Structure 1
Amino acid sequence: MAAAGGGDVCDSGGDSGVARAGRRLPPHSPSGLVLRTVEMHTGGEPLRVIPRLEAAEEAGAGGMSLLSLRREVAATQDHVRRALMHEPRGHAGMYGAVVVRGGAAAAGVDLAALFLHGAGYSAMCGHAVLALGRFALDYGLVAAPSSPETAVRLRCPCGPVTAFVPWDGRRSGNPVRFHSVPAFAAATDLAIDVPEHGKVVVDIGYGGTFYAFLNAEQLGLDVCSSKTSDLVKAASAVTEAVKKQFKLHHPESEDLAFLYGTILTDGKDAFSEEPTTNICVFADEQVDRSPTGSGVTARIALQHHKGLIQLNQTRTFRSSTTGSLFTGKAETKFGDYNAVIVEVSGEAFYMGTTTFTLEEEDPLKYGFFFK
């Protein structure tokens, strides 16, 4: 069974013999996967876009919701995730998105997306939404784009979001911004016992997925100067401790009630014109190279809940790993519970296209995980 994008995704262009040879696939198993991708990054965080996955399309045609489709793909197509996220085709920091069109999962939107990482599947990914906004326009997934900006409707497993993408009539541009699902504070000033660190105080926020937040100083670290390996180890210890000591609840679906990771900050939560720096460690000790779009969403929700930021006050968030910047602001309150819709803005860029093949006799055809 093939998992493939449209022909334009891997068209090398030109009429030279070299170009024609470049279109030929290397020897591979006739029954094996051919995986075509578009390579992007947002703030340094990679996004491997899979424009089409036949198995997801077939399952989606049966009327599955996107959350149900996420479970189905995880159960039956996880070899695709492993092949593309893990080495030798990927790496410990790789991230991906499967584009879903048609069926109930994508009803009423321009596209839906499933998010992939080294350890599994996420419910939300802000850096991916920023990149997919551009992808949707440039690959013709929006029926009638408008200049100077087009609203791109996406559905994520956590719910619908809208990206706003510059469009000049020929190609998309930057910066891209999106409006989040309702974001809220799940817990504040929560005392947690962390092995080797003792008692720390964390906040837990939801921005499409749940994160624990704390000042890295509580762990004897600095997000700007400590070794990344030390930050990763400490953040992972916090994540595991919170999972054991605090039960999460989501008001709409228990499928969303899981802690995705921990974000260590510089502690600068009160509103300021100066950037605040953080590092996000999620899944199985994976490090986000960007400031983390869903993390910015959750952190803005927490800051608003605590009265540290007002509606429409824009804050700048810096990644401690790359120095890349996102901005975020609480746009409006939402519903009967204390939630806000957050606007996040950043820049996403194309890097190329790739066609991956598999040879059936390759013992590592579905990759290996190394960190």
Structure 2
Amino acid sequence: MNNLHTLQLLDTHAGGDVSRIVTGGIDQLPGATVREQMEYLRDDADGLRRLLLEEPYGIPEMSVDLLVPATNPEAVAGYIIMEVMGYPIYSGSNTLCTATAVLETGIVPKQEGIQRFKLEAPAGLVQIEASVRNGVVESVTCEGLPSYIDTHRDTIEVPGIGPVTYSIAYSGGFYALVDAEELGFKLVREEELALAACAHKIVEAIQAQRGFSHYTLGDVGPLPFLHFMGPEEQVANGYVRSRSTTYVHPGVICRSTTGTGTSARLALMHYEGRLKVGDKLETVSLRNTGFIGTFTGTHKEGAYQVAENTITGRSYVLAESKIVINCDDPMVACGELHRLLSDRHAKI
């Protein structure tokens, strides 16, 4: 087997969060669904994620989205999300970037106006609505996962911080939601390191005290995320804006507000009786980028009132490239990658 291999990439970002889309160079993965293919990578072939997120190819703040053939005939393509914390079944910013990538690469030919199609995430089918003008993808709206509040305004003693009031939402992962002002933050970029350190302490304290279980998925692992909520500003009737930021991993604050973080905020506002169908929440990041979440409806799942929602944002293409994987390089751990790598462009 050759020691040199190439991967085809389209680097994008949404709200500042870089998503590296792998468009070719990976063989067909085993698994009857995109979810099973994700589980194969997670359990048996994690080297691809580590390769593209660690030195010398990547950094922990990035995400990777592997395009795969859809297994559901309603979808135009599937995608597997890889982040420093593992394999989330859904991500808003990664979905915005992947939807843009399938348009930019011609998997879905661009058409002027509104285009609708479906992608297959590990979480299932995702409806996409893209707005194209003069050949430019100006915005993408994607379904957020049904989101709900597990815990409302509980309090925990956090070493080095003191008592912290938090809520827990599920929106594709479990989120601790905390009030930024109560913790002394204005949510400006200069606070980024302090925000990451504070969030880590809170998440560790909650993890040590309790776990969380999804009403259908069951145990999805320890609480990974924390979302800082800034004050809400009423921009118009049914339209609220709020500075926000999301912690995802020790030392890592997302550049964007995150789509799932925005969905979690909508779930909290719905739980507190502050939303009607069609209301919007614009979350604004430390870098002054934003996503718009729209509350689209509700339904009951067991004991939970679930908020249905969409996330709207824009993704930008940064680069189209090939990277060379040299298995003779001591910084590159090929190992299990030999099962995945091909030297032909994958057809979606």
TM-score, length basis structure 2: 0.86
Within 5 Å, give how 1:4-19 maps onto structure 2.
none
In structure 1, what is the Cα distance between the partners aligned to 2:307 and 2:141?
16
- Paired letter, 1:212: A
Equivalent in the alignment of 2:47: 79
Equivalent in the alignment of 1:174: 138
Structure 2 residue 307 is matched with structure 1 residue 340 = yes
Q: Secondary structure at the match of 1:69?
A: helix
* Alignment root-mean-square deviation, CA: 2.4
The alpha-carbon distance between structure 1 residues 110 and 271, as it changes in their structure 2 partners (threshold 3 A), is same
- Paired letter, 1:194: V
The alpha-carbon distance between structure 1 residues 185 and 97, as it changes in their structure 2 partners (threshold 3 A), is same
Q: Deviations over 1:59-117 (max 9, x none)?
A: 13xx2x333322210233222112211122212311111112144xx443122211112
Equivalent in the alignment of 1:319: 285
Q: Deviations over 1:314-359 (max 9, x none)?
A: 1211001x11011112111134441121111111111111211122
In structure 2, what is the Cα distance between the partners aligned to 1:108 and 1:128?
20
- 8 Å CA contact 1:162–1:180 kept in 2: the answer is no
- Paired letter, 1:207: S
In structure 1, what is the Cα distance between the partners aligned to 2:86 and 2:251?
12
**Alignment counterpart, residue 227 of structure 1, candidates 191, 204, 207:** 191
- 8 Å CA contact 2:77–2:120 kept in 1: the answer is yes
Q: Deviations over 1:275-295 (max 9, x none)?
A: 211111103432211111111
Counting matched residue pairs gives 330
- 8 Å CA contact 1:126–1:294 kept in 2: the answer is yes
- 8 Å CA contact 1:269–1:303 kept in 2: the answer is no
- Structure 1: runs of 5 or more not aligned: 2-29
The alpha-carbon distance between structure 1 residues 237 and 53, as it changes in their structure 2 partners (threshold 3 A), is farther
Equivalent in the alignment of 1:213: 177
How far does residue 44 in structure 1 lie from its aligned partner after superposition? 1.2
How far does residue 172 in structure 1 lie from its aligned partner after superposition? 4.7
How far does residue 225 in structure 1 lie from its aligned partner after superposition? 6.4
Within 5 Å, give how 1:1-371 maps onto structure 2.
30-52=2-24, 54-55=26-27, 57-60=28-31, 63=32, 65-103=33-71, 106-142=72-108, 147-167=112-132, 171-224=135-188, 227-254=191-218, 256=220, 258-268=222-232, 273=239, 275-320=241-286, 322-336=287-301, 337-366=304-333
In structure 2, what is the Cα distance between the partners aligned to 1:339 and 1:179?
14
How far does residue 191 in structure 1 lie from its aligned partner after superposition? 1.5
Q: Secondary structure at the match of 1:123?
A: coil
Q: Secondary structure at the match of 2:74?
A: coil
The alpha-carbon distance between structure 1 residues 366 and 117, as it changes in their structure 2 partners (threshold 3 A), is farther
In structure 2, what is the Cα distance between the partners aligned to 1:249 and 1:53?
37
The alpha-carbon distance between structure 1 residues 86 and 156, as it changes in their structure 2 partners (threshold 3 A), is same
- 8 Å CA contact 1:270–1:309 kept in 2: the answer is no
How far does residue 134 in structure 1 lie from its aligned partner after superposition? 1.7
- 8 Å CA contact 1:261–1:282 kept in 2: the answer is yes
Q: Which has the higher contact order (CA 8 A, sep 6+)?
A: 2
In structure 1, what is the Cα distance between the partners aligned to 2:89 and 2:132?
28
The alpha-carbon distance between structure 1 residues 127 and 307, as it changes in their structure 2 partners (threshold 3 A), is same
Q: Secondary structure at the match of 2:311?
A: strand
In structure 2, what is the Cα distance between the partners aligned to 1:32 and 1:266?
48
The alpha-carbon distance between structure 1 residues 147 and 282, as it changes in their structure 2 partners (threshold 3 A), is same
Q: Secondary structure at the match of 2:207?
A: helix
The alpha-carbon distance between structure 1 residues 159 and 192, as it changes in their structure 2 partners (threshold 3 A), is farther
Q: Secondary structure at the match of 1:93?
A: coil
- Structure 2: runs of 5 or more not aligned: 335-348
Q: Deviations over 1:125-175 (max 9, x none)?
A: 111111211222232333x7764211121222233221210235x845112
How far does residue 238 in structure 1 lie from its aligned partner after superposition? 1.2
In structure 2, what is the Cα distance between the partners aligned to 1:256 and 1:311?
29
- 8 Å CA contact 2:6–2:25 kept in 1: the answer is no
Q: Deviations over 1:166-191 (max 9, x none)?
A: 235x8451121112221111211122
Q: Deviations over 1:167-221 (max 9, x none)?
A: 35x8451121112221111211122221211221111112222111101233333
